[in-house]
Structure 1
Amino acid sequence: METGQQPEVWMRGPIPGVPPLLQPVAHALLQAKEEMGRYMAGFDDSHLWVMPADVASVGFHLQHITGVIDRMFTYAADKPLSKLQFEYLQSEGKALPGITAEDLVSAFGKQVDIAIARLQKMGEKDLTDTRHLGRKRIPTTLIGLLFHAAEHTQRHVGQLLVTVKLLPLLQNR
């Protein structure tokens, strides 16, 4: 651990108001939010949509994880996606005029905050209740959707970190 850096979120104790069985979801999402802030500090917006070696761009990862959290929590509430959510899904990975890395990081942070607020309103007794995923209504559980939101976010944060680290190296070739 670097000097002055706090322990990982899960090592700091419970998130107030989040039920005990949902703490890992909250910890993972909050950890991703903190890491995103560190990884993206000083990021050059000209690299936002670059796809080194044909891997996903930093912009895609930022849009995608924001959208995934929103969609998984919508399904967790046992609701279908809205037209706006489908439009957002279709726009993931597309460069939007005037959008900056800071804008995308901020949107991600806000989505994490919304997710934490929703976790605080959930009870543990419903975690194994059936929920449905997507238009095909694939059966899953409430805890399954919440866990997927957390682990999928962490996976993309890891991929984003690698891309952020590679971009300057590839630009200097």
Structure 2
Amino acid sequence: MSAPQEYWLSGPIPDVPALLQPAAHALLQSVREVKVYLADFPEEKLWKKPFGRASVGFHLRHITGVLDRMLTYADQKSLTEAQFAFLKNEGDGENAPSSKILIADFEAKVNQALDYFKKTPESILTEERFVGRKRLPSTVIGLLFHAAEHSQRHVGQLLVTVSALKG
């Protein structure tokens, strides 16, 4: 059985502006890869940190949290107390949900991002936005692209961690 075609080679995603297609493809590819890599991953290893590196559970929570935060900044809003609490607990495996729930949470956040992309006119993509309490400068497209490439980066790290833990 051959691997499915990568999203970036599958044509445009309906109603997503052309300039946001690469970010949408990367996010959808991240969801697909997470599901494949974790299909038979042992639940008891979800929060293990091989070689002192981040756990699989952390990567799953973190990519969801970063995507949520980048959408908030793109929408010109400040983070809420709930978002700060989520950020603080991204690496905490105590009373954490299962990998299936973490994957579902990430997929739901990606779907929310795709809906956001569909409602974002290309004319605002270069508008300035600010990140964090220090109000570091970015743009709408910068935030949305960062969310996508950051997800891909952590999915790569997750793959290595999964491979190390499966032995």
1:137 aligns with 2:135: yes
Q: Matches of 1:116 and 1:85 in 2, distance apart?
A: 20
Q: What residue number does 1:79 align with?
A: 77
Residues 98 and 114 (structure 1), Cα distance of their counterparts in 2 relative to 1, 3 Å cut? same
TM-score, length-scaled by structure 2:
0.97
SS in 2 for 1:14: coil
Q: Deviations over 1:90-119 (max 9, x none)?
A: 011001315211111111111111101110
User: Residues 61 and 91 of structure 2 are in contact (CA less than 8 Å); yes or no, is this contact kept in structure 1?
Assistant: yes
Q: Could you tell me which runs of 5 or more consecutive residues in structure 2 were left unpaired when the two chains were aligned.
A: none
Aligned-partner SS, 1:132: strand
TM-score (norm 1): 0.94
2:76 counterpart letter in structure 1: D
The residue that corresponds to 2:92 in the other structure is: 94
User: Could you say what secondary structure the match of 1:49 adopts?
Assistant: coil
How far does residue 85 in structure 1 lie from its aligned partner after superposition? 0.5
SS in 1 for 2:28: helix
Query: Which letter maps to 2:54?
Result: A
1:157 corresponds to which residue?
Answer: 155
Over aligned residue pairs, what C-alpha RMSD do you find? Answer: 0.9
Structure 1 stretches lacking a partner, 5+ long = none
Q: Distance in 1 between matches of 2:55 and 2:91?
A: 7
Establish whether residue 32 from structure 1 lines up as the match of residue 30 from structure 2.
yes
Q: Moved runs in structure 1, 4+ residues, more than 3 A?
A: none
Number of residue pairs matched?
167
C-alpha separation in 2, matches of 1:97 and 1:86: 18
